[in-house]
Chains A and B, each alone.
Chain A
Amino acid sequence: MRFERMKPFDIVIVGGGGAGLYAAMEAMKTNPSLNIAVLSKVYPNRSHTSAAQGGANAALANKAKDDTVEMHIFDTIKGSDYLADQDAVDVLCSEAPKIIRELDNIGTPWSRMDDNTIAQRPFGGAGRPRCCYCSDKTGHTILQTLYEQCLKKGVIFFNEYFALSLSVKGSRSRGLIAMNMKSGKVEAFPAKTVIFATGGYAKMYWNRSSNAAGNTGDGQAIAYRAGIPMKDMEFVQFHPTGLRKSGLLVTEGARGEGGYLINRDGERFMARYAKEKMELGPRDLVSRSLETEILEGRGFDSPAGKYLHLDLTHLGADLIKSRLPQIREMSMQFEGIDPIVEPIPVRPTAHYSMGGIDTDNFTRTVMEGVYAAGECGCVSVHGANRLGGNSLLDILVFGRIAGHTAAQEAGKFEPGTISEAELTAQYDDIRSFMHSSGHYERYGELREELGQTLGTNVGIFREASLLKKGIQDVAELKERFKKVRVFDTSDVFNTNLMQVLELRNMLDLAETVATGAYAREESRGSHTRTDFPVRDDAKWHKHTLSTQVNGRVALGEKPVTMGRYELQERTY
């Protein structure tokens, strides 16, 4: 048997990261009698949420007594360069204290302050120290806690299942089709509702990315091919401090604790770009500052490329060991450098995808019964630029809303049936890459080239001619992909096949990123056009929608919800 069928589910959650697990937990809480499944291509505790080191924002006012939700809202809207929907930001920030406390109540090991309350620290772009953390393993401990709670609640997990497609009938989804990695079988998950929580797509920048190998935007690509629009895909955040060689991230926590950014002249160059906030300016600004220093010849040279210094040496061994142990370990393992004695070599790295599946404030997509949350969705609370510590918050708050909404709405829908023919078509599709005739391209090369062209042409500094080249390159890579070959023909745990399918997803999404970036003739947040250096509110204060029509991307737009703060120039 090449196929397997499940009995229908009320909710199928695709993704076991912070968003997916919170959704599962909340759905079980909302209605314990529901039949809920969580599918994940890796064991949930391996999800990329575990990589988040810095923390999650909430105006608990434990550290700065005068902090308020309103200030958090303002910082987020300003940080987004006014592209965030203000009602959604309201939800995000108002729910924040509740969600952080709830996590505490179920066992998250938050670091503590002297008065035994949850510890908070300063983070980029925030007016008050409101980032709650657990040393530098915040995401890891949140993910562990959620996984533990889901095990406690008896959530049904389908681990190491790779989602392939939505089964669609008219305007409705009938459920999900996925491949069981252990057996290679294609399995049908008929479902009343489906929640996508598959994380981000920043890995399309490949070696110039801080992301896990699997952050390939699978859920977005599946939704996109099913006709669901993507929103604001051109907004990709570059983190200022990736390790020079691997792109792996040195968290903002390092700067929050007092680290300096230094160029080859020994200057704390941030004084030139953000006089007041210095190293703690918002991410996009700091990334651009580093890139400018490098482009203007003030970076250090090395075979692995130009870089700058993140200097922690003045913080002292004790502080580094107690507050930033993971950063120290990583610097030693991946750069061979001990930050206690030497500065860390860094350069900007693609880090976070602001764009994603277009949803409303209840995480609903345009397709009935299909929801999206976490980095995979775009409500939008981050607009053109996400603040550090707001993403963990986003996945928790909207993961929970997704679980709640799906649990309440599941009753409205009938589960569909997924036909044998559909499964056969899926199976034949994925096996077709294994045919020897006409298939010879190597996925490793295509992946590398994709990262290269995106980094160069759709990177931090963008410009019409570069972007055109980027679009063209992606189109060519898509053509070549048709001839890609899966050399491993086995059924059991075929990681070769999985990586090829991930590449297909990245290629589909790369087209939306490059096309959106080319169209947006302004500079806003993470999107910097050297040929259109200023924000153009008259023409571009709106979201970009990208929809797949006849295999090509078609752009549309959507207004930004205002209501709280009027447009202002964004300065720090």
Chain B
Amino acid sequence: MPVIEVRDGAVALSGRPVLRGIDLRVERGEFVALMGANGSGKSTLVRALTGLRPLSRGGITLFGTPLEDFHEWHRIGFVPQRSGAASGVPASVREVVSSGRLTRRRLLRPLGAADRRAIDDAIELVGLGARARDGVSTLSGGQQQRVLIARALAGDPELFFLDEPTAGVDLPNQKVLTDALAALKERGASIVLVAHELGPLATLVERAVVMRDGRVAYDGPPIPDHVVHEPWLGEAHGHHHHARHESSYARDHAPHVRSPLEGRP
């Protein structure tokens, strides 16, 4: 049973079609990188998969249950695209991370020992142990991003959506996150990760899905970051072009240098 299944999914935002004809299956334990240019619909797809954006067509099932009937939210972890963790009232790192544990807490019950341990572990994992009691608004942008990652980790999810979790995060901490995700994967968790540059995470990625103009343009083995923007990727008869370029890629790296600009409409 796949953990995610999308059939002919489409999403319209303010009446404008943004995603079309999405067919996607993610199996248990898979690590999928979702790539594509700015505005290609990656975040919209993640939002549709997490139930934040309704489909205008087609259907989604999570863990075999149609999204409309899905209630086991403790199995889902979500790191939204950089939203900042600050608000109008001070909030400590620990408090923000604790809200990730709400999926597993009952109403009106205090935090149990297991909850506390999960929260502490998550904070420790992203290297913010010394700052746990500080206000999130006093942290740097990259540190705030790590708080959001810890918040998702605290819930011990089986299916993890991360929307550009490493944007603004330095290399040592990207490596730490990579180790954390590797450990999750070891336990059988499935991961959908949006990224422009995979960095150290590339070692974990087993499959790349490239979006272009709201469609899935490529779905297959991992490809180098810059190839994502190649104009031939996902064109009609793409297989022929793909094959040709794959071989030229192997022989000669140079043509790809100019590619990032050409990928845009």
Genuine A/B complex: no
Q: Which residues of A contact B (CB under 8 A)?
A: none
Q: Which residues of B contact A (CB under 8 A)?
A: none
